[in-house]
Structure 1
Amino acid sequence: MKGAMIAGACAILPVLAMDGTAEAQRAQAPVYVQQGVASWYGPGFHGRRTASGERFNQHDLTAAHKKLPLGTRVVVTNLRNGKSVEVEINDRGPYVRGRILDLSRAAAEQIDMKKSGVTPVRLEINEDNWRLSDRDS
C-alpha cells in the first residue's frame, strides 16, 4: 500500500513541477510585442496636456502610442544598439505614417536615439504592466 501511495505521489510531482515552470515562463513572457519605428518629442510639447490629462514633461520616461491603454508600462528596446527603457504610455500618437511610438526626450536619451530622431524599436509588455483604462473602453 505504501508503495502505491509513493508511486502515485511521484507521478504527480513532475506535473506540479512542469506546471510551476510553465507558469513562471508565462509570467516572464511578454503578452504584447510590436516592432516598428519610434520617434521622440519634447520641447514644443513640454507643459501641454497629454491624452491622459497630465501635463507632458519631456524629462519623464513616457511615450505616446495610438492604441495601447493609457497607463500601460512598456519596455522599449532600440534595435540598433540593444539599449532599453521602460516608459509609461500617457499620450496618443505618433501621427506620422509608419511610426508606432513617440518617446519623451528623456526616454530617447536613455536608448541613444535622440540624435538620429528615429530608430527601429521593439515594444514589450508583460502581463503585470498591462493596464486597462476606463478612458480607452
Structure 2
Amino acid sequence: MNENANASGAHRPGTERPFFVYGTLRPGGRHHDRLLRGRTTAEDEAVLPDAVLHDGPGYPYAVAAPGAGPVTGTLLTAAPGVYTALLDALDLLEIPAGYERTVRAIVRLRDGARVSAWVYLAAPDAELGPPIPGGDWFGRADA
C-alpha cells in the first residue's frame, strides 16, 4: 500500500478510499467543519502504525517510520457523490502546506480492521518540528 498521488494530485478511477486525518482536519480541529462537515458518512477513531508525529507551523506532520507510532487520528468516509470534490479540497489544503498524499494501512479502533486509506504525510522538504510524544496532536502539552 505505497501508492502515491501523482504530481497533479489525481487518483485513478475506482480507487475511492477513506481518508485518515490526524491534525486540524480531525473533528474538533480548525479545518474540520469548513471542509468536512456534511461531507462524510463515517468518522471513526483510528491509528496510523509505523509513523511518528512531528510538530509543525500550527499543524502536525506525520512521517513514515517502521516500528514507530502509532499516530492517533480519524478515519473519514466520504459521503456519496462528494468524493472527488472532497479529495480536491483536501489536496488544495494539504499539498501546498508540505504534504504528499499516499495510501497507507490504517487501523480502525472500533474493530481492529486494517483499512487502506489516503493519508497526507510530510513531503521530503517539509520543515519538521520536534516529535510529539504519544503521537496525538490533540494530546500535546500546548493543545
* TM superposition score category, shorter chain reference: under 0.3
Give the alignment's TM-score, normalised by structure 2.
0.25
Which of the two has higher C-alpha Rg?
Answer: 1
Give the alignment's TM-score, normalised by structure 1.
0.26
